[in-house]
Chains A and B, each alone.
Chain A
Amino acid sequence: MKQTDRRDFLKLAGMAGVTFTAGLFPGREAAAQAGGDFHFVQFSDTHWGYKGAANPDAEHTLEKAIVTVNGLAKQPDFIVFTGDLTHTTDDPKERRNRMKRVKEIIGELKVKDVRFMPGEHDASLDKGEAYKEIFGDTHYTFDHKGVHFIALDNVSDPGAKLGDEQLAWLAADLKKHKPDDRIVVLTHRPLFDLQPSWDWATADGAKAIDLLMPYQNVVVFYGHIHQENNHMTGHIAHHAAKSLVFPQATPGPDAPPRRPPPPPYDASQKNLGTRDISMAKAVTFVELPVTKA
């Protein structure tokens, strides 16, 4: 990313922050991207309904983040929620109440073009039944200013699978696109084996990656792991977002075999937040705090 681009983007975002730039969309020449510049914001893992020591402020964290995003100097074209909108409950009525309430809160966003995806907390206990009633389809596509977005559901199957039917749907959708089309995949769980012993994977995610591999300009944004993580499978970049409830332990080769509990609550909430993603010649993003300093 050129320095001028970076300054422009920070101005666009309306606040300074650490900008992450991957060499994304490497196969796409600038001339082919005229008119494609825009930005959108990713929220993830709001876990509405969570009550616990990992975030005693959980009831208000989402509202604070919405105020921050509403305060951006230039509002995003749209907003995505990559799953775990609600914290799970065995009670189907309470599940729906939580979904309705979180939808109400999200209604406070200035931007009204909001795209939802489920997480396992929303959809795994009832195969997405309540989620579909309140938020709609669990997987779908949309296009925006020359970029093709694909929302994948790897949570409605309680075994964390996309399933053959959805994979066939994905294959059929991709066939309509040229190898150098710009494609953004949105999903909840990592499609690759990030930390299999912590269940941070999608059982058949490798099949989706295989289908995406012939396309030169693919970026995946996901949630689930409650922290930033940047990973490449070949030329495909995968970026995990922070959550709005609590962070999780850091994965890696030296991590313990069992996932440790979340770290103690940090009242600064600096390990929580949302993400502003700019789609220009390269894809860049800046992490937004819960509360603007």
Chain B
Amino acid sequence: MKRRYFIALLVAGSAAGGVARLEAATTREVEVIAEKFDYTPDMIKAKVGQPLTFVLTSVDRIHGFKMPDFGVRTDIVPGVDTRVTITPTKVGKFAYFCDVFCGDGHEEMAGTLVVEA
């Protein structure tokens, strides 16, 4: 698994005097491989407040990747690395699943994101 880090500068201007605030956020990357009718891995752990980038690849056909709880979806096209970044804000278990019908077994093509404190 590749890990890359970056520092995000968040500038929060105040109405009073434009006071800048510097925050550090570490983005974790996790590779997810899509293949009829599974994601590998199908269980990923994350932490509240830590950005997580899914690096999505497909080895056979176009699949989908959807996480309704985070308002994200994308196609996963073979031969292309597709990146989707989320930042969990609460503890819980959340599904990611294929939303491009891909055959007998499509309904089972899903995984779980486990967000911990």
Contacts and interface: CB of A to CB of B under 8 A. Distances in A.
A is bound by B: yes
A115 interface: no
A173 B101 CA distance: 29
B23 interface: no
Interface string A125-162: 10000000000000000000000000000010011100
Interface string A80-93: 00000001111000
A88 B100 contact: no
Interface residues of B, number: 20
Contacts, number: 51
Which secondary structure dominates chain B's binding surface? mixed
Nearest to B66: A199
Interface residues of A, number: 23
A257 interface: yes
Interface of B: 64, 66, 68-69, 93-95, 97, 99-104, 106-108, 110-112
Rank and list the top 6 A-B pairs by shortest CB-CB distance, nearest first. Answer: A124-B101, A196-B68, A257-B95, A197-B95, A158-B101, A120-B101
27 contacts: A88-B101, A88-B103, A88-B104, A89-B104, A90-B103, A124-B101, A155-B101, A158-B100, A158-B102, A159-B100, A160-B99, A193-B68, A196-B68, A197-B94, A197-B95, A197-B97, A198-B97, A199-B66, A199-B97, A199-B99, A201-B68, A256-B93, A257-B94, A257-B95, A258-B110, A259-B107, A261-B108
Interface of A: 87-90, 120, 124-125, 155, 158-160, 193, 196-199, 201, 203, 256-259, 261
